[in-house]
């Protein structure tokens, strides 16, 4: 919705105009910025100061209300033992709960109006405000900010960011969680193409993971597809100037989709599709979500971030807060190192994920492709968790490989599979038993100084992440690997289960983790062999955590055995 900041000029306007006059005179007191990316990511270079008259967009995350109640509601609608299980909130109910106070809305709008900022849009929940303004206005509004052009990443992306922290007037600090569009740089994709393994003999082998390999390994039949008659739908989100092409999807299904019913095109694109070359990551997401969740209506959220001031992930979160009817399952191959994000940003994004959970959305995030990760803190190495994978309100998907890379066999750990323990979020109650059991029984735990044993542990589940075929820019590409592959596969299978639930009059699965942990991973193949990578030093020698019986922070509860998973998740 468009917000007219000129309405209601009486009341606080004179006060805030006075406040803005103080800002300009340098006599106003400020609060330190709550949100900033701490260092310039490698691979990015400054191209110099931006033109003061250049326009950019900033996103103001307004302080929400009733967050404790929101957390309680997530629990009761997601816990199968609760009488409220499956009784999800509508977007209007969520808005009524979290909408910023009238004082917050009035204070922020008058502050912006006093600075001459009038072109703003809000969302239904009224807790985000995106405004278009000149760089001159932005630097006056947020003292300390100084906007520069930067270029970096594999696609030589251009962005406008401030290398310096901003300040908020103290009168505004209680009303604004953070201002987005100043600091965070787009993370680069970690999807990789691996060398083709060498194999002796050709009897009974496959030459890479395709939809038929997925369906055979996870025990899907030709009948395990969507009916085409329900209101079931699924979605994936693409960022970082990643686009898919309809022609690539059609060619992929021609090559690999002949043995099961499927839809030939994406049902809806939310956002703008770029005209550039297709990205392997976007192609992979769409092709495997639509072949695992076969014959189910599929949406693609396209937030390319081509406007230099935008943050694509924030744009996606705001889209969720502005649509009353959404797909039931969303898969996202996006992540940042936890330590690269401010507390204000990470807590607010976590609240947005909580809002989605109360509405019955199943959000699956890739666990990352750096194993346990590694960084140095005060000269000592530690593992490096990833966010949003570490959020307690998403289902995080790790990665596996076939024990024999050319045969459909048991799965082992894919050494890149992201996993570990959050340094921000405490361990949620739903996984207390499973994680405690792992910590007390694993024979291969890394030194305790490397991880926060009391943090939210991830991933929750896994699927094959190694050796996929993808069609991109009309070319079939083999041996593409990463948890960006396993995530849409698991999401597609959950969409098939939602299909059965909807057709039998039950609500969709919603936030899966409380049920998943209560059922101790029922319906999943337990992955018990292999370790993922970590710090290359003498103490751990490149080894992070190792898988074992039951849940582990490498493959979660394991990979899907579709008939058993359907049985375990169909009722109630």
Predicted confidence (pLDDT) per residue in 88-108, tens digit: 999 999 999 999 999 999 999
> Is residue 281 annotated as a catalytic residue, yes or no?
yes
Give yes or no: residues 168 and 300 share one domain.
Answer: no
Give yes or no: residues 391 and 308 share one domain.
Answer: yes
Domain end, chosen from 162, 180, 198, is at: 180
Q: Identify whether 282 is part of a domain.
A: yes
Q: Identify whether 312 is part of a domain.
A: yes
Which helix (H) or strand (E) segment holds residue 347: the answer is helix 343-358
Give yes or no: residues 376 and 436 share one domain.
Answer: yes
Q: Identify whether 205 is part of a domain.
A: no
DSSP label of 326: -
Distance CA(407)–CA(401), nearest Å, equals 11
The pLDDT, as a whole number, for residue 154 is 65
Give yes or no: residues 431 and 517 share one domain.
Answer: yes
Are 30 and 170 within 8 A, CB to CB?
yes
Say if residue 527 carries a ligand binding annotation.
yes
Say if residue 279 carries a ligand binding annotation.
no
The pLDDT, as a whole number, for residue 238 is 83
Which helix (H) or strand (E) segment holds residue 478: the answer is strand 475-481
Give yes or no: residues 408 and 549 share one domain.
Answer: yes
∠ CA 567-568-569, rounded to 5°:
95
* Total domain count, the chain: 2
Q: Report the CATH number that the domain containing residue 243 is assigned in CATH.
A: 3.40.50.200
Taking the CA of residue 46 as centre, how many other CA atoms within 13 Å lie in the half-sphere pointing to its CB?
13
Nearest to 24 by CA among 34, 13, 16, 32: 16
Q: Identify whether 6 is part of a domain.
A: no
Q: pLDDT digits over 284-319, tens only? A: 999 999 999 999 999 999 875 544 455 778 889 999
Catalytic residue among 285, 311, 414, 460: 285
Give yes or no: residues 446 and 329 share one domain.
Answer: yes
Domain end, chosen from 130, 161, 180, is at: 180
The pLDDT, as a whole number, for residue 279 is 84
Q: Identify whether 258 is part of a domain.
A: yes
Q: Identify whether 93 is part of a domain.
A: no
The pLDDT, as a whole number, for residue 466 is 95
Give yes or no: residues 112 and 222 share one domain.
Answer: no
Instruction: Reply yes or no: is the peptide bond before residue 388 cis, omega within 30 of 0.
Output: yes
The pLDDT, as a whole number, for residue 278 is 81
The residue ranges of the chain whose pLDDT is under 50 are: 6-27, 37, 198-203, 306-308
Are 557 and 523 within 8 A, CB to CB?
no
Q: Which two tokens stand for residue 21?
A: 């006059």
Give yes or no: residues 167 and 254 share one domain.
Answer: no
Q: Identify whether 193 is part of a domain.
A: no
Give yes or no: residues 169 and 222 share one domain.
Answer: no
Q: Which two tokens stand for residue 203?
A: 């009897």
The pLDDT, as a whole number, for residue 323 is 93
Domain that holds residue 171: 30-64+99-180
Placement of tokens 């499973």 in the chain: 434
Say if residue 460 carries a ligand binding annotation.
no
- pTM, entire model: 0.91
Give yes or no: residues 252 and 401 share one domain.
Answer: yes
> Is residue 246 annotated as a catalytic residue, yes or no?
no
Give yes or no: residues 369 and 483 share one domain.
Answer: yes
Measured distance between the N- and C-terminal CA atoms of the chain, rounded to whole angstroms = 38
Instruction: Point out which residues pair with 132 in neighbouring strands.
Output: 57, 119
The pLDDT, as a whole number, for residue 36 is 56
Q: Identify whether 20 is part of a domain.
A: no
Say if residue 526 carries a ligand binding annotation.
yes
Are 91 and 318 within 8 A, CB to CB?
no
Nearest to 94 by CA among 70, 72, 78: 70
Q: Which two tokens stand for residue 197?
A: 């393994």
Give yes or no: residues 268 and 136 share one domain.
Answer: no
Catalytic residue among 233, 291, 484, 486: 484
Taking the CA of residue 353 as centre, how many other CA atoms within 13 Å lie in the half-sphere pointing to its CB?
26
Placement of tokens 């947020």 in the chain: 142
């Amino acid at each position: 919705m468009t917000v007219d900041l000129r309405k209601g000029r009486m009341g606080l306007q004179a006060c805030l105009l006075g406040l803005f006059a103080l800002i300009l005179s340098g006599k106003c007191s400020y609060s330190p910025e709550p949100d900033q990316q701490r260092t310039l990511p490698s691979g990015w270079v400054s191209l110099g100061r931006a033109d003061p008259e250049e326009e950019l967009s900033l996103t103001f995350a307004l302080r929400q209300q009733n967050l404790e109640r929101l957390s309680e509601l997530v629990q009761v609608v997601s816990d199968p033992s609760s009488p409220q299980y499956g009784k999800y909130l509508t977007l209007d109910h969520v808005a009524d709960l979290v909408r910023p106070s009238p004082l917050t809305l009035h204070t922020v709008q008058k502050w912006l109006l006093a600075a001459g900022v009038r072109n703003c849009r809000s969302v239904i929940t009224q807790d985000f405000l995106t405004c278009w303004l000149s760089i001159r206005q932005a630097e006056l509004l947020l003292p300390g900010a100084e906007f520069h052009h930067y270029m970096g990443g594999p696609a030589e992306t251009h962005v406008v960011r401030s290398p310096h922290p901003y300040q908020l007037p103290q009168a505004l600090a209680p009303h604004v969680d953070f201002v987005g569009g100043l600091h965070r740089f787009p993370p680069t994709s970690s999807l990789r193409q691996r060398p083709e393994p060498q194999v002796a003999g050709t009897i009974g082998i496959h030459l890479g993971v395709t939809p038929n390999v997925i369906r055979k390994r996870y025990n899907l039949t030709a009948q395990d597809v969507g009916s085409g008659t329900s209101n079931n739908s699924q979605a994936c989100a693409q960022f970082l100037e990643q686009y898919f092409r309809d022609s690539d999807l059609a060619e992929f299904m021609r090559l690999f989709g002949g043995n099961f019913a499927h839809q030939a095109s994406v049902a809806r694109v939310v956002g703008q599709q770029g005209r550039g070359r297709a990205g392997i990551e976007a192609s992979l997401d769409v092709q495997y979500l639509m072949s695992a969740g076969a014959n189910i209506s599929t949406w693609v959220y396209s937030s390319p971030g081509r406007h230099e001031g935008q943050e694509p992930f924030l744009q996606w979160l705001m889209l969720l807060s502005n649509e009353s009817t959404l797909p039931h399952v969303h898969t996202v191959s996006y992540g940042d190192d936890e330590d690269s994000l401010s507390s204000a940003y990470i807590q607010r994004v976590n609240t947005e994920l909580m809002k989605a959970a109360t509405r019955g959305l199943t959000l699956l995030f890739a666990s990352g492709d750096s194993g346990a990760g590694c960084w140095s803190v005060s000269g000592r190495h530690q593992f490096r968790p990833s966010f949003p994978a570490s959020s307690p309100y998403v289902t995080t998907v790790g990665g596996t490989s076939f024990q024999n890379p050319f045969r459909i066999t048991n799965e082992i750990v894919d050494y890149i599979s992201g996993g570990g323990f959050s340094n921000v979020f405490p361990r949620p109650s739903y996984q207390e038993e499973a994680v405690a059991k792992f910590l007390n029984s694993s024979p291969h735990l890394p030194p305790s100084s490397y991880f926060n044993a009391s943090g939210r542990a991830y991933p929750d589940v896994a699927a094959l992440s190694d050796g996929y075929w993808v069609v991109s820019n009309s070319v079939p590409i083999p041996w593409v690997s990463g948890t960006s592959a396993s995530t849409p596969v698991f999401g597609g299978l959950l969409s098939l289960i939602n299909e059965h639930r909807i057709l039998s009059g039950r609500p969709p699965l919603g936030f899966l983790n409380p049920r998943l942990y209560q059922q101790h991973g029922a319906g999943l193949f337990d992955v018990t062999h292999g370790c993922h990578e970590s710090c290359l030093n003498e103490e751990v020698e490149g080894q992070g955590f190792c898988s074992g019986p039951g849940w582990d922070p490498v493959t979660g509860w394991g990979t899907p055995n579709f008939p058993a998973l359907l049985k375990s998740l169909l009722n109630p």
